[in-house]
Structure 1
Amino acid sequence: MTQFCGLDFGTSNSTLGRIGPDGAPHLLALEAGQPTMPSVLFFGFEDDRIHFGRAAVAEYVSGADGRLMRSLKSVLGTALYADTTRVKGRRLGFGEIIGTYVGELKRRAEAQLGDDLTQVVMGRPVHFVDDDAAADREAQAQLEAAVRAQGFRDIAFQYEPIAAALDYERQAGGEKLALIVDLGGGTSDFSLVRVSPERAGRADRGDDILATTGVHIGGTDFDRLLAMSRVMPELGLGSRTLDGKRHLPVAPYFDLSTWHRINRLYDAKALRDLRSTVREAKDADRVETFAMLVEERLGHRLIGAVEDAKIALSDSDAVDFAFAVRDRTISTIITADQLAEALAASIARLEATIIETLTLAGIGADAVDSLILTGGSTLVPAVAGRLQSLFPEAEVVRTDVLGSVGLGLALEANRVFGSR
């Protein structure tokens, strides 16, 4: 008997859910007993193996020679999707890399279930690409092709915030108008949905969805913004050339701060350009540290440390940031206020998108009964505080921030495929 499932392929983490014998949705343990697996691959050059999830990160952190790939979802629908990356003499396209990761999720799930998975409901953001419907359609088509190549015969899609609503609805005590806020690694989605236990079993929920909007802002953008504002200046960002006539190029710093662009710096030409920048920089010592970091291929580790600092600021007023590069240390103090300042423009865009959602539905903020928060970025205090200030009368519901979408997709898969 074939099995159906719900698959949340996330920018940062992925989950796979199915309906258990008890009729309830469950997430399968994908790695080391955990229901989440980081959306990361490491192509090991020393052992000629592909490592996934936490194991991929561990290989990279250990200093093993290889190529780390993460934030793959962010390239869907963009010009970067057509790029290839070199892995030991082979050039791999992003569709093949995404397929390899999804195929590993499928293999691990099938090993637990003892059966084939051929039907899947995939989660998708409201917008893969902002303000470009054609690119958005292309992004879904690219993901569908990558998933189908792994043996999934029947593929359906559901918006990630709607999936989170389906999960919440199982425990709703009565009918509510809920704003689902799904702040993921790469996108932020907002949906106004009427939820109730009675509505949960309906095949057509179209009338219950009052409005859905999204914007291409997420946790990896927060990492980039924090890195650009607090760490990249320690590597020369904002400094001038020796003659004082111009600032150093910004593009390499942007690439180093952006998860899915870091590998571009490991190209021979990019390194030659960086060495040329060292020679013409007034603050050559800091730019030399940048060049060393690229030569050692420490880019992902650096931004991983920035991400750790961002997470630590959820519970602390300040963190001491220190990152070693050969015999040098990149060090600075990062405060919660500085994080909030770095994210201010993005948070304003999130707020504007929420207001757009309310406008599309023709309601005011006071009509929202429940504010349902899912996705890891809702844990950032500056973000959560702004969201709650917009809806002071609403009940705040914190879901399983990493698992609610996968659980909801399993419920949707049961609705779509369960009667077949």
Structure 2
Amino acid sequence: MSASFAGLDFGTTNSTLSLCAPGGAPRLLPVEGDHLTIPSALFFSLEDGQTYFGRRAVFEYVDGAEGRFMRALKSILGSSLMKETTQVGRQRMSFEALIGTFLEHLRKTLERESDAPVDRIVLGRPVRFVDESDAADQEAEDQLASAARAQGFAHVEFQYEPVAAALYFESGMNAEQVALVVDIGGGTSDFSILRLGPERARRPDRADDILGTTGVHVGGTDFDRLLNIARMQPLLGLGSTTADGKRTLPVWYFNDFATWHRINTLYTPKVLADIRSLAKEAAEPEKLKRMEHMLAHRSGHRLAGAVERAKIALTHEEEATISLRESGLTLEAPVTRAEFEAATAELVERIDGAIAASLQLAGIGPEAIETVILTGGGAQVPAVARAATARFPEARVALSDAFGSVGLGLGLDAARRFA
């Protein structure tokens, strides 16, 4: 496999690795047992001193092992948190080092599949890491590149994730067409309009084929967050008032507790003391007692996981139940698809607006789109799929590999760049 080249899709929720030989077909590598995807999660165990990755990390955390659980680290790139450190066991680590720890694990997996060290990689990146700042967006890419180089990837290049998904889809085409790629990932949503075709696929430089590319910082974890805020955080005290009815309790504790990459920041003695103090003056102190339990037992990611499972269930069902059961606490809340869509309508509106912007940027009308390629786990959300396809009633809708198409396209791109 020494003549093969590698692509790495470091995702907010899941990650993949691929290898591709020049002129060949890319293949995803098994990254966790026989699995072709690995959850982008780490668990630093205080019980045995080991670092666990992926599904094993999730298992250790959910099983109640003592330690530090980290997930959705990609969402931190370009944010102020990247300039901070966090306590992991007996040491403090930067978030870039934490991301590097995960990338190191993937590099070792990659080299087990190759007969030579791998020092060149094409990494996927969203169209926008950060919506509101070009400088912060570039800084996010630089931070990810720095983390990769620190783990031995001397030559790092980037490809937009929706473009990578299109490159893989294009490998099976027999005629030229204009396509819209809708890539709804765990932390970002990207939209690219491209000219695709078998002849164009042979070109080393595809810049002229990219007609328009837009992106927004909206992804699957945002849908989780808003569903959590709507249905579960009120059970912990969100929206409650003081006993005298004069003021509402601070909301930021609950908003952060519903946000994957902010949950760990609440596990401090000060926040726990704050919640105990609020319980003494709250009109519904029993709700704050639940929040106290959640903080004391570091149950935030378990709750977020329960919300995520309900969201996934609502893809195919009209009703689901968000359920968290552990010693000393049971939380349950039914939710309908209609309630979920109402809670997350603002996210769908932002996705719809970004699709409109991609058409405007490309200088074409909806009728020019011949194929809509849906990829990413979030594209399976019914309201998102409707928004992605509503403008294009005559277009073919192609459901690409939800979790593998970007990684496969990155491998294909790597073979073309590095061969």
TM-score calculated relative to the size of structure 1: 0.98
1:244 aligned partner: 245
1:142 aligned partner: 143
In the alignment, is residue 36 of structure 1 matched against residue 37 of structure 2?
A: yes
1:260 aligned partner: 261
Q: Which runs of 5+ in 2 are unaligned?
A: none
1:37 and 1:328 map into 2 onto residues whose CA distance is 30
1:21 and 1:196 map into 2 onto residues whose CA distance is 18
2:174 and 2:113 map into 1 onto residues whose CA distance is 34
1:114 and 1:33 map into 2 onto residues whose CA distance is 20
- Contact 2:5 2:21 (C-alpha < 8 Å) held by counterparts: no
1:53 is displaced (CA, Å) by 0.3
SS at match of 1:182: strand
1:58-69 superposed matches below 5 A: 58-69=59-70
1:155 aligned partner: 156
TM-score calculated relative to the size of structure 2: 0.98
2:314 aligned partner: 313
2:133 aligned partner: 132
Deviations 1:233-292 (A, max 9, x none): 111211101111111111110111000000011111111111111111111101110110
1:83 aligned partner: 84
1:4 aligned partner: 5
2:314 and 2:172 map into 1 onto residues whose CA distance is 31
1:251-290 superposed matches below 5 A: 251-290=252-291
- Contact 1:39 1:70 (C-alpha < 8 Å) held by counterparts: yes
1:71 and 1:46 map into 2 onto residues whose CA distance is 23
SS at match of 2:202: coil
SS at match of 1:270: helix
1:43 and 1:376 map into 2 onto residues whose CA distance is 27
- Contact 1:2 1:116 (C-alpha < 8 Å) held by counterparts: no
SS at match of 1:390: coil
Q: Match of 1:251, as an amino acid?
A: W
- Contact 1:236 1:287 (C-alpha < 8 Å) held by counterparts: yes
1:313 and 1:77 map into 2 onto residues whose CA distance is 32
- Contact 2:22 2:415 (C-alpha < 8 Å) held by counterparts: no
2:73 aligned partner: 72
- Contact 2:220 2:378 (C-alpha < 8 Å) held by counterparts: yes
1:276 and 1:221 map into 2 onto residues whose CA distance is 30
2:225 aligned partner: 224
2:387 aligned partner: 386
In the alignment, is residue 56 of structure 1 matched against residue 54 of structure 2?
A: no
1:88-127 superposed matches below 5 A: 88-127=89-128
Structure 1 pair 3–175 and aligned structure 2 pair: CA distance change class (3 A) = closer
2:329 and 2:159 map into 1 onto residues whose CA distance is 48
2:296 and 2:273 map into 1 onto residues whose CA distance is 11
- Contact 2:4 2:21 (C-alpha < 8 Å) held by counterparts: no
1:361 is displaced (CA, Å) by 1.1
1:345 aligned partner: 346
1:62 is displaced (CA, Å) by 0.9
Structure 1 pair 255–345 and aligned structure 2 pair: CA distance change class (3 A) = same
1:328 is displaced (CA, Å) by 3.0
Question: How many equivalent pairs are there?
Answer: 418
Q: Match of 2:6, as an amino acid?
A: C
2:377 and 2:297 map into 1 onto residues whose CA distance is 30
1:23 and 1:168 map into 2 onto residues whose CA distance is 14
Q: Match of 2:180, as an amino acid?
A: L
- Contact 1:266 1:297 (C-alpha < 8 Å) held by counterparts: yes
Structure 1 pair 22–357 and aligned structure 2 pair: CA distance change class (3 A) = closer
2:417 aligned partner: 416
Q: Which runs of 5+ in 1 are unaligned?
A: none
1:328 and 1:229 map into 2 onto residues whose CA distance is 20
- Contact 1:77 1:135 (C-alpha < 8 Å) held by counterparts: yes
Q: Match of 1:341, as an amino acid?
A: A
- Contact 1:225 1:342 (C-alpha < 8 Å) held by counterparts: yes
1:172-251 superposed matches below 5 A: 172-251=173-252
2:367 aligned partner: 366
1:390 is displaced (CA, Å) by 2.1
1:269 and 1:236 map into 2 onto residues whose CA distance is 18
| Root mean square deviation of aligned Cα | 1.2
Deviations 1:361-401 (A, max 9, x none): 11111110000000000011111122222211110000101
2:254 and 2:207 map into 1 onto residues whose CA distance is 44
2:171 aligned partner: 170
SS at match of 1:117: coil
1:111 is displaced (CA, Å) by 1.2
